[in-house]
Amino acid sequence: MRGRQVVYAFVFLLIGFLLTVSIQHANRSGELIQLNESNVEQDLYYRDQLIDVQEKNKQLRSELVELQENVQNLEQEIANDTDELKDLVNRKNTLQKFTGELPIEGEGIQITLSDTTYDMSEEDHANQYVVHDRHIHLLINELFSAGAKAIAINGQRIYHDSHITCIGPVISVEGNVYPAPFVISAIGDQNTLDTSIQMRNGVIEYLVQDNIDVKLDLSSNIMMREKDSL
C-alpha cells in the first residue's frame, strides 16, 4: 500500500510539473503571438509613414523640377541681359572713342602738307606758297565726309567743336600753335579715304595747284590719345 502511494505520488508530481510547464509554455506562445500582432501594427505604421514620405518626396521632386526650370529661365534672362549690356557697353565705348573720351586706334591715312620748297620769284607773295587754314579745313571736311572716324593734326585730335585758324605762317588748333609741315592723320577705311581725296578735281589736286607739297601715306595703325581734359 505504501509503495503504491509512493508511485502515485511520483506520477502526480510529474503530472503537476508537466501541466504547469505546458500551461506556462502556452501562455508564453500566446505572448509571442501578441507580440507579433503588435509587430504587425508597428509594421503597418512604419509602412504608412514610408508611403507618406515617398509621396512627399515625389511632391518635392516635382517642385524641384519646377524650380530648376525657373532657375534656367532666369539664367537665360540674365544671359540675354548681359548680352544686351555687352552690346550697350560696346556701343558706349565706340561712342566714347568718337567723342575722344577713350583712345582710338586703327588703320587710316596720313597726309603731310608742307610749304613748298619751290624757288619763288621776286614778284610772288609768300602767301601763295604757304599752307593756309582753309586748305586744312577743306582737307578735314573732305576726310570727315568720306567717313573718317577720327582726325588729328600733328597728333592733336579734332572734334566737332575744334577751331583751326591761321596765324601768319603757323596754324593754331584749339589754341595750340603748330608750324609747317602739318601731318593730318585720319582713321577710317583706307580705300575710301584715299579715293575720296585723290578724286579728279578733288582736294589733293586743288592743294597741289595752290603750290603745297602733299605727301600721302597709308598707315595700318594710327593711334590717337584721349582728350586731355574731359
By the rule CB under 8 A, 36 interacts with other proteins? no
Q: Kindly report the number of other CB atoms within 10 A of residue 169's CB atom.
A: 12
Residue closer to other proteins by CB (options 5, 221) is: 5
Distance separating alpha carbons of residues 36 and 38, to the nearest angstrom: 5
Of 5-13, 37-45, 152-160, 162-170, the window that binds other proteins (rule: CB under 8 A) is 5-13
The upper half-sphere exposure of residue 59, i.e. CA atoms within 13 Å in the direction of its Cβ, equals 6
Residue closer to other proteins by CB (options 18, 78) is: 18
Distance separating alpha carbons of residues 225 and 209, to the nearest angstrom: 33
Nearest approach, Cβ of residue 60 and other proteins (Å): 46
CB 108 within 8 A of CB 188: yes
Residue closer to other proteins by CB (options 30, 169) is: 30
| Interface residue with other proteins, options 27, 29, 128, 141 (CB under 8 A) | 29
| Interface residue with other proteins, options 28, 47, 86, 215 (CB under 8 A) | 28
Q: Is the peptide bond before 181 cis (omega within 30 degrees of 0)?
A: yes
- Residues in contact with other proteins, counted by CB under 8 A, come to a total of 24
Nearest approach, Cβ of residue 15 and other proteins (Å): 5
Nearest in space to 115 (alpha carbons), one of 204, 179, 42, 69: 179
Residue closer to other proteins by CB (options 8, 159) is: 8
- Can you read off the three cell numbers belonging to residue 146? 568720306
Of 11-19, 103-111, 175-183, 216-224, the window that binds other proteins (rule: CB under 8 A) is 11-19
CB 203 within 8 A of CB 145: no
188 secondary structure, DSSP code: S
By the rule CB under 8 A, 9 interacts with other proteins? yes
Instruction: Please report, as ranges, the residues that interact with other proteins according to CB under 8 A.
Output: 3-22, 24-25, 28-29
